[in-house]
Amino acid sequence: MSILNLGKVAVLMGGRSAEREVSLMSGQGVLQALRASGVNAHAFDPAERDLSELKREGFDRCFIALHGRYGEDGTVQGALELLGIPYTGSGVMASSIAMDKTMTKRVWLAEGLPTPNYVLVRREQLGSVSMDGLIQALGLPMIVKPAREGSSIGVTKVEQIQDLPAALAAAAQCDADILCEQCIVGDEVTCPVLGEGDSSHALPVIRIVAPAGNYDYQNKYFTDDTQYLVPSGLPASEEAAIEALVVKAYQVLACRGWGRIDVMIDAATRQPYLLEINTSPGMTGHSLVPMSAKAAGLSYEALCCQLLAAASLDHVQEARG
């Protein structure tokens, strides 16, 4: 599709989630890239303006650079469906499921895909949950995180039982659902997927080497100490197996447009385990999808234009009606 046919484009950025700061960085990068490519693109912050203004102001499509709640969870996607404005990334159902790490794991497990063992703890259960029971089920170390946050917000790696209550409390401040997960010790990798259905394909795997193995919010976005290895340095057969796994994980959730799936490789068995999927990945200077795309010969600008050209709706006929 020609750039000239993309019309007036809103880059949705900012929003109301805990990831607002990162979203603004992503959105500014996308906005500059689209404008540099000749797209009639404009910034639009849903935290400051009503989405109905998109229709009033004649926007033809939206690039969603929002992260987290109210942007990546199907809510904005649903509003754009009602407005009939095509948008980048996954539709309402896939976005909603993918935002909820527990629901994502349930789908993957139902499809026979490997993901670490988990126990879901509700906020109201914090006073009665058995710490010994959690450790019996999952072992130590254990990962404790909110079920519906991104960017490693509220995530704790618990090494000792006495640290478990504080980790649960920290996650509960972010979400009513707390995901306690078996900690897979080994290589941490991530792999983007582009496309839809049978045309979905993986971009190169990135291996992440964080300071002291702690790939947290600070080390994701605000330091240069984390190493991102692409080529990953993994054996070719292992990389191919991970790419096939992430494409399958993306397809069973009915994702489209793009996504990025995080994977841990067990050091002892070399078995890859799916951790989570991001359906509106970061596009900042530290972000991984542009890095992987570049390794595949796809520039940041070309990636943005490709994603925008693929913008669509779940219900095209109804939207046009």
Query: 73-112 pLDDT, tens per residue?
Result: 999 999 999 999 999 999 999 999 999 999 999 999 999 9
19: CATH: 3.40.50.20
314 belongs to a structural domain = no
202: CATH: 3.30.470.20
- The whole-number pLDDT of residue 321 equals 39
SS (H, E, C) 128-149: CCCHHHHHHHHCCCEEEEECCC
pTM over 0.95: no
Tell whether 126 and 211 lie within a shared domain: no
At residue 152 the predicted structure's pLDDT band, cuts being 50, 70 and 90, is confident
Tell whether 21 and 131 lie within a shared domain: no
- The whole-number pLDDT of residue 223 equals 64
What number is the average pLDDT over the span 113-117?
98
- The whole-number pLDDT of residue 319 equals 40
Instruction: Write down the mean pLDDT value for the chain.
Output: 93
Looking at the structure of the chain, the number of domains it has is: 3
Domain extent, residue 161, equals 118-182
For the chain, what percent of residues have pLDDT higher than 70?
93
- The whole-number pLDDT of residue 3 equals 65
- The whole-number pLDDT of residue 286 equals 80
Enumerate the β-bridge partners of residue 261.
191, 277
127: CATH: 3.30.1490.20
Give dist(CA 252, CA 97) in Å, integer: 11
313 belongs to a structural domain = no
Active site residues: 19, 151, 221, 260, 262, 276, 278, 282
Tell whether 285 and 250 lie within a shared domain: yes
Tell whether 223 and 254 lie within a shared domain: yes
Tell whether 101 and 220 lie within a shared domain: yes
Q: Which amino acid is at 93?
A: M
What number is the average pLDDT over the span 151-157?
83
Tell whether 171 and 268 lie within a shared domain: no
Tell whether 19 and 152 lie within a shared domain: no
316 belongs to a structural domain = no
51 belongs to a structural domain = yes
Closest to 263 in 3D by CA, of 180, 186, 203, 161: 186
Closest to 121 in 3D by CA, of 182, 181, 179, 183: 179
Tell whether 197 and 274 lie within a shared domain: yes
> Is it the case that residue 314 has pLDDT exceeding 80?
yes
232 belongs to a structural domain = yes
> Is it the case that residue 318 has pLDDT exceeding 70?
no
168 belongs to a structural domain = yes
Tell whether 132 and 245 lie within a shared domain: no
At residue 312 the predicted structure's pLDDT band, cuts being 50, 70 and 90, is very high
Q: Which DSSP helix (H) or strand (E) runs through 236?
A: helix 236-252
Is the bond leading into 141 cis (omega within 30 degrees of zero)? yes
319 belongs to a structural domain = no
207 belongs to a structural domain = yes
Tell whether 57 and 101 lie within a shared domain: no
Tell whether 248 and 126 lie within a shared domain: no
Report pLDDT digits (tens) over 172-226. 999 999 999 999 999 999 999 999 999 999 999 999 998 766 655 565 556 678 8
Tell whether 259 and 221 lie within a shared domain: yes
At residue 2 the predicted structure's pLDDT band, cuts being 50, 70 and 90, is low
> Is it the case that residue 142 has pLDDT exceeding 80?
yes
Is the bond leading into 231 cis (omega within 30 degrees of zero)? yes
Lowest mean pLDDT among 16-25, 252-261, 262-271: 16-25
